[in-house]
Amino acid sequence: MDMTNELLARFEQLHEIGAALSSERNIDRLLEHILLAAKTITHADGGTLYRVADNQKFLRFEIVRTDSLNIAFGGTTGAPIPANFKDLPLYRDDGQPNNSLVAAYAAIHAETVNIADAYAADGFDFSGTRKFDAVTGYRSQSFLTVPMKNHANEIIGVLQLINAMDPQDGAVRVFSDADRRLVESLASQAAVALTNRLLVSQLEELFVAFITLINMAIDEKSPYTGGHCQRVPALTMMLAEAVDATSDGPLADFSMSEKDRYELQIAGLLHDCGKVTTPVHVVDKATKLQTLFDRIALIDTRFEVLRRDAELTLLRTAPVDRLAAGQRWQQQRRDIDADREFLRRVNIGGEAMRSEDIERVLSISKKYRWTNAEGVEVDFLSADEIENLTIRAGTLTRAERETINYHIVATIKMLESLPWPKHLKRVPEYAGGHHERMDGKGYPKGLKREEMSVQARIMGIADIFEALTARDRPYKPGMKLSEALRILGNFRNNGHIDPDLFDVFVKEKVYLKYAEEYLEASQIDEPQAAPVSEKPVGESPIP
């Protein structure tokens, strides 16, 4: 290949590298691409990428490569920069520029330095290079050190290449003027790409921090739901990663890019943002009669009035009739105490209330009479108290449950009103679907399994499992793993959750990974053999 063709090929390579740099989202990979690209177009054996750090005071090693020594630190290698690779100070203790170090000089003066032989160079201190060579047996010779200047004319890093290799015979040569121009062009593109990526990363971090702030406000509204908005996204991502790693079965084709992961993370963080509209006294309703306070105390007071009135009646009875009256009083007191304890018990709420218990509540209301504050004799229990005390499961009336459920409608309205960028367009769908069911009996849209994304179905399982195992709910303690998995398995069988996702959740022990991080040790027991889907793979569950 003649020199002209080679130069054209290298320019084409530079163009391709620039396009690749502009699309890279991961900072470590971006830095690695920059250095490897510079090494490639100059045929350099080694190189280092430094970034300006600590308020423009130091150059920090970010990526180090030397092919002939098999040295690879930083970037995606998993090998951290060794501790003896100290930051290079840009200024001496007296505040003067540290011009003796070639990388520092290039950064301070925004000037490329091309050295034919480090051992013969004047004006720079290469003692560290000589020590490195003495230890490794290497011979550091030609150096090309290029500052990385962004669009704001700020130096953000330095590219340093070592030992240009002749592609024909492998001999070390001097970096040519063409090498210098190409690397300067690459450094300029790389600096802009890196700055843009850092700005985007900072905006993304700010966005996540702002969402976390909203979630903190939601969780802080109630001591009983604190952490829910953080735990559900965490479990969502655990299950999503397990599904992404699945290589067989109906979910084998599911995969996520980094953009997909970020989108799902944002959806998870925002899945309950509509709870800012939910009244605190409904969220915190720990007993059936609780509003701003537990009204069971008012009923206790009424019972005490009944006891007092019965006792006064006894005391006013003529002595000749007092024995029979005393017996009636003892029976009345036993009835009053029994009915009071019964109402206190049903006020707590639970998984189910029997029909005979409901009838007893109604009977108690008619059994006793009392005089209210207006001096009117009325039934013992008001209509509102009866409605609350006869709730069959939990502590919420139908109206209160609708108020709670409205949070998902509010979530969807809020999220759909935002101008999402293309890579986050599906956030409202993912976040808004976590209360839908596979059989279409969920809310708010009544979607069926085939109408929902895998991500929304994943979030539904995460939301349910977190609620089952949460130890900060007002109406129940956190369940043990075995019980939560049993209930989740029933939800799988009755068409509530996705059966294929449930199988991955169990098979890959996602529940255990979550439990070890977020549950109390007392909740982590050994589940029974977890149920697996009895339906054909991929078939929609039957209600």
Q: DSSP readout, 320-375?
A: GGHHHHHHHHHHHHHHHHHHHHHHHHHHH--S---HHHHHHHHHHHHH-EEE-TTS
Q: Return d(Cα 64, Cα 46) in angstroms, integer.
A: 8
- With 0.75 as the threshold, say if the pTM is over it: no
| In the predicted structure, residue 253 carries a pLDDT above the cut 80 | yes
Structure tokens at 522: 């007392």
> What residues does 44 pair with on adjacent strands?
164
Domain extents for the chain? Answer: 3-197, 222-279+399-523, 296-395
pLDDT band (50, 70, 90) for residue 323: confident
C-beta of residue 434 within 8 angstroms of C-beta of residue 454: no
pLDDT digits (tens, 9 = 90+) for 154-181: 899 999 999 999 988 889 999 999 899 9
Calculate the dihedral angle through the C-alpha atoms of 202, 206, 212, 213, rounding to the nearest 10 degrees: 150
Q: Could you tell me the sign of the dihedral formed by the alpha carbons of 426, 428, 431, 432, in that order?
A: negative
Which of 45, 62, 71 has the alpha carbon at shortest distance from 139? 45
* 3-state SS track over 94-130: CCCECCCCHHHHHHHHCCCEEECCHHHCCCCCCHHHH
Structure tokens at 360: 């007893």
Close Cβ partners of 184 (under 8 Å, ≥ 6 residues apart): 112, 146
Check if 3-197 and 222-279+399-523 are the same fold. no
CATH architecture of 222-279+399-523: Orthogonal Bundle (1.10)
Please report, rounded to a whole number, the percentage of residues in the chain having pLDDT higher than 90: 54
Which of 513, 477, 38 has the alpha carbon at shortest distance from 237? 513
Which of 397, 400, 527, 392 has the alpha carbon at shortest distance from 465? 527
Q: What is the mean pLDDT of residues 56-67?
A: 93
pLDDT digits (tens, 9 = 90+) for 190-222: 888 888 888 888 888 899 888 888 878 777 776
Close Cβ partners of 368 (under 8 Å, ≥ 6 residues apart): 302, 306, 339, 380
pLDDT band (50, 70, 90) for residue 266: very high
Calculate the dihedral angle through the C-alpha atoms of 520, 524, 530, 533, rounding to the nearest 10 degrees: 20
Q: Could you tell me the sign of the dihedral formed by the alpha carbons of 302, 306, 311, 317, in that order?
A: positive
Residue 142 confidence (pLDDT): 97
Q: Is 378 helix (H, G, I), strand (E, B) or coil?
A: strand
| In the predicted structure, residue 430 carries a pLDDT above the cut 90 | yes
Close Cβ partners of 472 (under 8 Å, ≥ 6 residues apart): 223, 224, 225, 226, 227, 478
Residue 338 confidence (pLDDT): 93
Structure tokens at 231: 């735990």
* 3-state SS track over 458-479: HHHHHHHHHHHHCCCCCCCCCC
Close Cβ partners of 537 (under 8 Å, ≥ 6 residues apart): 249, 250, 500
Residue 529 confidence (pLDDT): 46
Strand (E) or helix (H) holding 50:
strand 44-53
- Here the contacts of 423-427 (C-beta below 8 Å, separation 24 or greater) are 423/259, 423/262, 423/263, 424/262, 424/263, 424/266, 426/263, 426/267, 426/453, 426/455, 427/263, 427/266, 427/267, 427/270
Give strand ranges (E) for 108-223: 113-115, 143-149, 155-165, 172-173
Distances 73 to 52, 63, 80, 119, 311 between C-alpha atoms, Å: 18, 6, 6, 25, 88
pLDDT digits (tens, 9 = 90+) for 87-135: 999 999 999 999 999 999 999 999 999 999 999 998 999 999 999 999 9
End-to-end CA distance of the chain: 70
Average pLDDT, the chain: 86
Q: Is 286 helix (H, G, I), strand (E, B) or coil?
A: coil
Greatest Cα-to-Cα distance within the chain, rounded to the nearest angstrom: 132
User: 3-197 in CATH: which number?
Assistant: 3.30.450.40
Residue 130 confidence (pLDDT): 94
